Amino acid sequence: GAGVSQSPRYKVAKRGQDVALRCDPISGHVSLFWYQQALGQGPEFLTYFQNEAQLDKSGLPSDRFFAERPEGSVSTLKIQRTQQEDSAVYLCASSVDITTAGYTFGSGTRLTVV
């Protein structure tokens, strides 16, 4: 595709519900990142994939957060037993190779936990 595509665009979840957020990176992009952006803050790193390998998950805030990219393309970020503090915009980004540090973000998924 032309850009990084994320779905859904908006998600409202009841506290305790599980959610799954999808990211379609730019075709052929090796690197994929997930970030969390709270209101009024900059994006905060969650996890990084190089192809299907999850090489860095140091930013995942708890074991309720899980990400996968099984075929090295589409990625899913799953949040179990959502809490109100999980409310944020979840941004996915991709880059063409492992040496390119500046990358392209998707439009994000705005998650609201009520």
Please tell me the distance from the alpha carbon of residue 41 to that of residue 53, in angstroms, as a whole number. 28
Scanning the structure block, which residue is given the tokens 């991709």?
Answer: 94
Structure tokens at 13: 């979840």
Closest CA to 30 of 111, 110, 100, 112: 100
* Shortest separation between residue 13's beta carbon and another protein, angstroms: 19
Structure tokens at 89: 């915009």
Q: Which strands form 19-24's sheet, in the order they lie side by side?
A: 5-7, 19-24, 75-79, 65-68
Stretch of 18-26, 71-79, 80-88, 95-103 lying at the interface with another protein (CB under 8 A): 95-103
Size of the site for another protein (CB under 8 A): 24
* Shortest separation between residue 107's beta carbon and another protein, angstroms: 5
- Residue 90 is a binding residue for another protein (CB under 8 A): no
* Shortest separation between residue 109's beta carbon and another protein, angstroms: 11
- The 3-state DSSP class for residue 36 equals strand
Stretch of 15-23, 34-42, 61-69, 71-79 lying at the interface with another protein (CB under 8 A): 34-42
Stretch of 17-25, 37-45, 65-73, 76-84 lying at the interface with another protein (CB under 8 A): 37-45
Question: 60-89: which residues touch another protein (CB under 8 A)?
Answer: none
